[in-house]
Structure 1
Amino acid sequence: MMQIISFLLALLIANAAAFAPFGVVSDRSRTICFAKHANDKGAKWAKSKRPKKSSPADINRKPVVYELTSMVKPAEFTISSEPATSVAKSG
């Protein structure tokens, strides 16, 4: 009889522990982290995916030098001696 009562008591405790909230059962840290290491962000990730310079021709290649004299900026404003004219808003 004592064995049956102890078995039923153990069964009752096991069932009650299954429905207890997680924080009550365990005092472990509440933060769960599955990451092994931090992930690279956009530019760093893209840089790691670019092809590597492996051949001597690639390694010793000089950057292209562009002549800045070929790029002439157009005149945006011109100075004139005429008086200023007012511009009315449209609409």
Structure 2
Amino acid sequence: MPEEVLFKSESTQSRDEIASYLRSVADKLDSGESVTLSAGAETTTLDIPSRPTFEVKAERETDSSGGNAEQSLELEIEWDEDGSDGGESGSLSIE
């Protein structure tokens, strides 16, 4: 399935600033409100259903020489636009 990027923003932020963004999303999820993303003139609003799929991934990428490495933590919320519920539910623990 082809991918269409609806919104993208990437910038260096402090951990406090990132935590604030995540809290804002968490608050919207708790209240059932839409999530609106804005950066400059770009804006998109997402209506997240009550049971989306939540994916957590930790990765390490190394360059071809094996010298430099970059780590990442990806938190992804996904759902079908037709409104159907997500797939399997598993037990996740974040400490």
Q: TM-score under structure 2 normalisation?
A: 0.23
The structure whose residues are more often helix, as a share, is 1
Structure of greater relative contact order (alpha carbons < 8 Å, 6+ residues apart):
2
Judging by fraction of residues, say which structure has more strand.
Answer: 2
* TM-score (structure 1 length as normaliser): 0.24
Larger radius of gyration: 1
